[in-house]
Every structure is written in structure tokens, then in C-alpha cells.
Amino acid sequence: MSVETPTRPDRPGGHVSLAEKAPNARRREGASRLMTVVLGFTVAAAIVPLVLLLWQVLANGLPALSLDFITQVEPLSYRERGGGYLHGIVGTLYMTGVAAVVVIPVGVLAAIFLTEYGGSKYAYVVRFFTDVMTGTPSVFVGLAVYALLVSGAGGAGLGFGTLAGAAALGILMLPIVVRSSEEMLRLVPEDLKNASYGLGARKWQTALKVTLPAAAPGITTGAILAVARGAGETAPLILTALGAREVVGALWGAPQADIGLLMVDGFTQPFDAGIERAWAGGFTLIVIVLLLSIIARLIASRSQAR
């Protein structure tokens, strides 16, 4: 199939130089510049509020930010200066870590099931409940976990603690892991699967040894973003973890601290020292979530480069 060269009757030979611009080139360049300006304003409209928020949090929490803030617990009186949110940092990482250990493998396996057996009625049920869980308000999750684990039937529950808080965070993290992992698994080329089938591999072997490793960078990114979402939750922990004033290592039987819960307590009292610590706690939480997001972006960029 040959490609015809554009011709002009008024030019020698009837041909048009490739360096010559088309008649509508100026209009297209103008439209391109206009859209670039519009997109620039849109990006600025999204970045400016974020920068102002970070500046507000840092400026108000700077008096309380020090090495003691991440190495000491909060003093008993809100009016006392010094101390920090060590117990809140430990509690946040503890509950988020327990939730991630359970939720990430379950979510990835559910995504593999949806990808490989997406046409079955069971897959439809799993996908339906995953979508429902995605839009469920976090406070309702806290109420459900409180009724099932904290109080239990006839008061036979585990009480407030790390396990109940991790269960609430895990429920919120699970749909993110499932949906992101499913999308990454669907991006794996069919040629890889067909090559595995051609070598005699079974379906489960292909899923675990071919599809899953190929989608591992994207799945890791989605898992880290889910963990970041869980670390920033506060509402369900009011009904499950409750909060503590010291570092708690028990998995159940004792209320657990959290940065968000400590911030709520700090902002609801009138003393400047407690309010400054609450602002510093907000900055610490932003840093934790930001670090997790940066890790996710780095993994995504490396996977794209490969």
C-alpha cells in the first residue's frame, strides 16, 4: 500500500514541502496554547489549597515539633508543654500494620479470583460487595466492628483495642486493594498467559507464577495507597480503638492510641500547649501518608520503566 504525497497545482512539480505549515496550523497552535493555560490554572487551583494547608499545619504545630515529640508520650495535663505523640505514632503503625498483613493477601487473592473467574456468579457477588464497601462511610464501619468485636453478643466481645481498630481499618482498606489489584492484573498481556498455557501450566499455576509477578509493581502501589488511606482514618477508631495515654503493645484487652484520636482530644480543650501538639500530630500524620505515597509513586515509575 503506497502513501500518496499531497500535491499543489500552483507549485513546481505539484508537490508541497513538508516544512510548510497547513492553513489551520495557527488556529491549532492557538487552541493548544489556550488549553495549556487552562490546564496550568487547574493545576494551580489544586496545588495552592494543598500548600496553604501544609503551611497552616506546620506554622501552628512548629512550637511543639522536636525530637521529644516522636520519642515521648503526651503529659497528663493538656496545659503542660513538652512531650509528644509517641504512643499515637506506635498505635497508628501497629493497627495499620496488623490490618495490612491480613488485608493485602486476601485482597490480592480476591483480585486473582475476579480476573480469572470473572464470569461466574460468585465473582459477580464479590465485585458487587467490593463496590458497596468502597462507598461505605467509615463511621458505619466503626459501628459494625463495635457491635461485632468490641461489645459482641451479650457483652462477650474483645473490648476496645488494637485488634478492633485494625479490623475497622482493614475493612476500609480491602476494597482499595481488591480493585487496584484487579486492574493491574487485567493489564497483563494475554500473550504471557497463552505462552504459559502452551507450556502445559494449569490455570492456578499461570495466575500465581506468571500473571501475579508481572503485575506485582502495580499491586504493590495499590497496597501502599490502601495502607495510607487506613493510616489517615479516625472516625472508625473512636468506636474501636478508643484511645490511650501510653504506649500499648497488647493486641486486645486494652484501648489503643492513634494520632487522629489524640488530635481530636487536643483540639477539643482550650490550652495552647495541647492545641500545638494536635497541630504537630497532624503534620506528623501528613508526613507518614506522604512517605507512603512517595514510595507508591517510586514503585509505579520503576514498573513503567521496566
pLDDT tens by residue, 256-275: 999 999 999 999 999 999 99
Match 492545641 to its residue by C-alpha cell: 275
Judge whether residue 178 has pLDDT over 60. yes
Match 500473550 to its residue by C-alpha cell: 191
CB 277 within 8 A of CB 85: yes
Q: What is the mean pLDDT of the chain?
A: 87
Band of residue 19 on the pLDDT scale cut at 50, 70, 90 = low
Partners of 7 in the β-ladder: 15
Instruction: Please name the residues in contact with 138: beta carbons below 8 A apart, sequence gap of 6 or more.
Output: 168, 172, 233, 235, 236
* Integer Cα distance of 127 and 20 in angstroms: 54
Q: What stretches of the chain show up as alpha helix (H) in DSSP? A: 25-61, 86-116, 121-134, 138-145, 162-186, 190-198, 203-206, 212-231, 235-238, 259-267, 272-305
Longest dimension (CA), the chain: 96
The residue count for the chain: 306
Neighbours of 183 (CB within 10 A): 15
Q: What is the 3-state secondary structure (H, E, C) of 104-159?
A: HHHHHHHHHHHHHCCCCHHHHHHHHHHHHHHCCCHHHHHHHHHHHHHHCHHHCCCC
Judge whether residue 161 has pLDDT over 90. yes
Task: Read off the pLDDT of residues 84-134 as tens digits, 9 standing for 90 and up.
Answer: 999 999 999 999 999 999 999 999 999 999 998 877 788 888 888 888 888
Compute the C-alpha angle 179/231/73, nearest 5°. 170
Phi, psi of 188, rounded to the nearest 5 degrees: -70, 130
Task: Read off the pLDDT of residues 195-229 as tens digits, 9 standing for 90 and up.
Answer: 988 888 888 889 888 898 888 888 988 898 899 88
Q: How far are the Cα atoms of 6, 8, 13, 15, 19 from residue 3, in angstroms, in the given order?
A: 9, 16, 17, 14, 18
Q: What is the pLDDT of residue 18?
A: 60
Match 507464577 to its residue by C-alpha cell: 209
Percent of the chain with pLDDT over 90: 56
Report the predicted TM-score, pTM, of the whole model to 2 decimal places: 0.83
Which fold would CATH assign to domain 87-181+217-305? Answer: MetI-like fold (1.10.3720)
Task: Read off the pLDDT of residues 265-304 as tens digits, 9 standing for 90 and up.
Answer: 999 999 999 999 999 999 999 999 888 888 877 876 776 6
Average pLDDT (61-73) is 93
Band of residue 1 on the pLDDT scale cut at 50, 70, 90 = very low
Judge whether residue 193 has pLDDT over 70. yes
Judge whether residue 245 has pLDDT over 80. yes
User: Hey, is 15 helix, strand or coil?
Assistant: strand
